[in-house]
């Protein structure tokens, strides 16, 4: 029974973290591609400055649409990162306490932060698969080219800047007519 429970805890943690990692990887790819699309369309507005009518409006709608999609992807990525951080912190906390308990620094009558006594006889979180899943989450929580806490804000800022540049370019072109 104990081995089955150990396996179930490891599988549960691995499955949830693996799902979050997969979704974050897809979101980060979408963020990068949508930002590149925003940049390409925003900068192409300077090349297509002499296009008239519905084409310039279509270009403006496309930049705005890609910016909104990018914002949705960034918010989804951030939500997944926060959800993954919950798993990461809890599992890390349990693993550290399990190590402290096994090394004799902590006694079985010490309390968990929720007020419950620790019991490591029914879980074994220090397996290599759990540690690898936590490392994969740490890697997936960083956006390409802009790692760190403010990476998503930089990507969103670039897209919003392209929309502003497009409409500034459109307004300056309208004044010249």
Residue 111, SS3?
A: strand
Structure confidence at residue 35 (pLDDT): 92
C-alpha to C-alpha distance for 158 and 177, rounded to whole angstroms: 29
40-74 residue pLDDT tens: 888 877 776 666 656 777 888 888 899 999 999 99
Structure confidence at residue 122 (pLDDT): 45
**Domain span at residue 117?**
2-176
How far from the centroid of its chain's Cα atoms is residue 110's Cα?
35
- Average pLDDT (147-167) is 87
Percent of the chain with pLDDT over 70: 71
Handedness of CA 17, 18, 21, 23 (dihedral sign): negative
Contact between 133 and 14 under an 8 Å Cβ cutoff? The reply is yes
Domain count, the chain: 1
């Amino acid at each position: 029974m104990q081995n089955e429970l150990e396996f179930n805890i490891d599988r549960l943690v691995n499955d949830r973290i693996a799902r979050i990692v997969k979704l974050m990887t897809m979101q980060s790819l979408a963020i990068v591609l949508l930002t590149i699309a925003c940049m390409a369309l925003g900068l192409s507005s300077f090349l297509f400055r002499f296009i008239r009518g519905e084409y310039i409006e279509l270009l403006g709608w496309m930049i705005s649409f890609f910016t909104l999609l990018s914002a949705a992807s960034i918010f989804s990525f951030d939500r997944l990162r926060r959800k993954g951080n919950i798993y990461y912190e809890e599992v890390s906390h349990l693993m550290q306490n399990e190590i402290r308990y096994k090394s004799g620094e902590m006694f079985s009558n010490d309390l968990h932060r929720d007020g419950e006594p620790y019991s490591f006889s029914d879980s074994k979180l220090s397996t290599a698969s759990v540690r690898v899943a936590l490392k994969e989450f740490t890697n997936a929580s960083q956006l390409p080219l802009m790692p760190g806490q403010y990476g998503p804000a930089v990507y969103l800022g670039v897209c919003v800047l392209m929309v502003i540049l497009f409409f500034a370019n459109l307004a300056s072109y309208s004044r010249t007519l």
